[in-house]
A and B are shown apart, each in its own frame.
Chain A
Amino acid sequence: KAGVTQTPRYLIKTRGQQVTLSCSPISGHRSVSWYQQTPGQGLQFLFEYFSETQRNKGNFPGRFSGRQFSNSRSEMNVSTLELGDSALYLCASSWGQGIMSVYGLRWEKLFFGSGTQLSVL
């Protein structure tokens, strides 16, 4: 079974430009979440999509946006790039339904892609 695929793997942009990153989830997974990873802040949640709808959002400015298509593939877009946007952008996919535990809590495993390394010059 193919894993989560992110393209491109590396990207170099200049300040002020915009960029679009792509994520293809594991077949059958309907939820896609995006994270930003930097040495200073670590992994930070951007947003989550399920069945083409944004289900949750982190604390990032409006320059960061995303969408999900009917085949569950997702894209994220960053407009007006800043130097501080240089980071590894990771997406993770999951079924999106949750698994009930014996404690009555729902949880599910996230499967991460290898990320897109974005450098803003």
Chain B
Amino acid sequence: QKEVEQDPGPLSVPEGAIVSLNCTYSNSAFQYFMWYRQYSRKGPELLMYTYSSGNKEDGRFTAQVDKSSKYISLFIRDSQPSDSATYLCAMKTNAGGTSYGKLTFGQGTILTVHP
């Protein structure tokens, strides 16, 4: 079983819809939680990150972490066709000393927002 599970979708929604993307994890040592967006033929780019349980909002995006349930979510409000991409959750432990480059990713969810 993978340490991070993410439903690959695909997910198709109409423009303006609220999108909910989710990941579950099994490793209690994960301390950092991130969401990346990856457009076709591009590398992932960081959307949101958080360390703690609770909600974090940035514009149309809200990241939610529930450490007790080992569950994280990303909500996209008023979705736009330009939001069509693959969304990847990623996590990191505090282990590894000064190593900051090792992230554990979910499989990614393919999202299409149609006009």
Contact = CB atoms under 8 A, between A and B. Distances in A.
Interface string B40-81: 011111100101100000000000000000000000000000
Contacts of B46: 109-110
Interface residues of B, number: 27
Question: Counting chain A CB atoms within 10 Å of each CB, which of B49, B100, B103 scores highest?
Answer: B100
Contacts, number: 77
A20 B105 CA distance: 25
Contacts of A48: 99-102
B43 A43 contact: no
A33 to B, nearest CB: 3
Contacts of A87: none
Contact of B108 (A42, A108, A112, A115): A42
A55 B98 contact: yes
Contacts of B98: 50, 55, 96, 98, 106
A55 B96 CA distance: 9
A73 to B, nearest CB: 16
